[in-house]
Amino acid sequence: MKFPFFILALLLLLCKPFLVRAQSSSLLEIRSADLLEGAKGFERLLGNVKMKHQNSLISCDSAYFFREENRAQLFGKVQIKDEEDPITTTSSYAEYDGTTKVAKLRKNVVFTNQKTKLYTEYLDYNRETNVANYFEGGKMVDSVNVLTSEIGTYEINFERISFQQDVVLVNPDYTLKTQDLIYLTIPKTAQTPGLTNIVSKEGYHLDAQKGSFYDTQWKQFKFFEGLVDTEDSRVKADELFYDEPKAYYEGKKDVRVLNKERKLEVFGEVGTYWEKKKYSQVYGNALVRRYFESDTLFLTADTLISQDGEADSLKYLLAFHQVNLVKTDLSGKADSLLYAFPDSSIHLYKDPILWNRSSQISADSMVFYIKNETLDRVFMKNKAFAILTDTLLNFNQMKGRRMTGQFTNGELSNLVIEGNGESLYYALEGDTLTQGINRILSATIGLSFVDGLIKKSNFGVKPDGKFIPVQDINEKMSRLEGFRWREEEKPGRSSIDDWRKVIEIDPTLMNFFNEPEIKLEMPTQGQLQKALQEKPVKQSGGG
């Protein structure tokens, strides 16, 4: 079916005003200028030039206006101001395309959106998408932060700026360096997807290997594979949250907290740490390493609580359930443990047992002290039982309500038994031949040892004792009641590693603050050509 000609003409006539309005709305308009000169293909505007495009007011010192192409070249004190949005752009030169709505601004560019200012030498601003790009270095400044990078994209509708290549964020408290960063101008938050390094004004280091989130107003951080290194502590976790005003840390997966003063490091799966109180809680296959000058004490448990407050009563480490400890000359296990920092005492509770070289001691509870990095003395309470092996691997045994042991060079040298004391020790001839067993009962017993052999004994009251010759020794006579040799339970380094294998911190990891600030730049092709032209030509000499 064909429309009659007069109907088609009427439709075109009715649509014509709309088409004219739609077309004219995208055209650049000249508002005023001191002087207007026409030339082939363009108009030259001189002095106090004012133009308009939709809701944008344009002003400059002079301009070339290409009317048919709907574009203009703007020179000197260029300003593009939006009548609806609080956006103003200034530069020394610009090219404006009314059809694409793209402004290309060059030299001394300042892009202003309320309190956010962007400084650069090269900026492309697309008013259609409301996106501005700089690509030869730029600087963003707001009320809190200064951000610089080589490349940047400002998405005005989302108040989001993406910074790339040599990114540096500076605020009054921190300086941050990375290669990629997304900054939201309203909440003033920064997010990075990769390696990020931060140094605080106090000199603290905050690093993230796999990205970070930073609330610059509330001073809250989240790091992935993050590490915070301060004067007093070092905290690391696969996912680490840090609230700087509260000095509070929260870590998930592979958490580690180092107390530098105590030389004590705590590891676990989940942990929290209050830096001002020096209080930490760590859960999940927890591990402690207490560093000495030439040795390390390892301790494992389900849960660890460390407190290092100002009062002596608030300086301790607590360990709960499945406690194991290992040192070069010491191994032990218990249900729970208290390590008191002031006197370096270690308290073991609920069926504790301790192995030291040739000795095994156990009780309902015990406390031992480390001095000059070695075991110094031990106190055992209720059902105390000590076993020492001699050079022939015989079991010398002592038991009582309470025991006090002294160590020399890390080996048991003296033992005092108080209350219902019993002792059973082998008499040797020349340390190579067993003569028999001495069994003694006494309220108090004092014993001295050398290499596991009893060299001296004394008793508070007359003892009740007997000697059993070697030919009469049997299994029952050679054991005190309650005897248990538990060597198979003794933890070692392999059991510590099976509980938690620590991946040590790599000191060679890349850090942007270690990179040199000076950059060597290759000359451009134009600079090379100019240098060649200016180079004097060597004249060939005549004969």
Burial class (CB in 10 A: 0-12, 13-18, 19+), 25: exposed
Residue with tokens 């006197």: 343
340 in Cβ contact with 316 (< 8 Å): yes
Which amino acid would we find at residue 61? D
Rounded to two decimals, the pTM is 0.79
pLDDT in tens, 453-495: 778 888 877 788 888 898 888 888 899 999 999 999 999 999 9
Q: Tokens 């680490």 sit at which residue? A: 240
pLDDT tens across 183-195, in order?
998 888 999 999 9
351-494 is classed CATH 3.30.750: no
- For residue 201, give every residue at least 6 positions away whose Cβ sits within 8 Å of its Cβ, in sequence order, or none: 172, 173, 174
pLDDT of 180 strictly over 90: yes
Instruction: Identify the band that residue 92 occupies on the pLDDT scale cut at 50, 70 and 90.
Output: very high
Confidence of residue 16 (pLDDT cuts 50, 70, 90): very low
Distance CA 156, CA 350 (A): 65
Q: For position 9, what pLDDT does the model report? A: 35
- 449 against 426, higher pLDDT: 426
* 397 or 527: which leads in pLDDT: 397
Query: Residues 269-297: pLDDT tens digits?
Result: 999 999 888 898 999 999 999 998 889 99
Token code pair at residue 4: 């009659």
Under a CB-based contact definition with an 8 Å cutoff, are residues 204 and 228 in contact?
yes
SS3 73: strand
d(CA 353, CA 366): 9
For residue 524, the number of C-alpha atoms closer than 13 Å in the C-beta half-sphere is: 3
* Average pLDDT of the chain to the nearest whole number: 87
What average pLDDT does range 213-224 have in this prediction?
Answer: 91
Rounded to an integer, what distance in angstroms lies between the CA atom of residue 352 and that of residue 333? 6
In this structure, which topology does domain 26-136 adopt according to CATH?
lipopolysaccharide transport protein A fold (2.60.450)
pLDDT band at 313 (very low <50, low <70, confident <90, very high): confident
Say which residue, 285 or 370, is predicted with more confidence: 285
User: In the prediction, which pLDDT does 13 show?
Assistant: 38
Is the pLDDT reported for residue 4 higher than 60?
A: no
Q: Which amino acid is at 494?
A: S
* pLDDT at 20 > cutoff 60: no
Decide if pLDDT at 163 tops 80.
yes
- Name the pLDDT band for 10 (thresholds 50, 70, 90): very low
* pLDDT surpassing 80 at residue 520: no
Domain edges within the chain: 26-136, 351-494
What pLDDT is attached to residue 284?
A: 93
Two domains, one topology: 26-136 and 351-494: yes
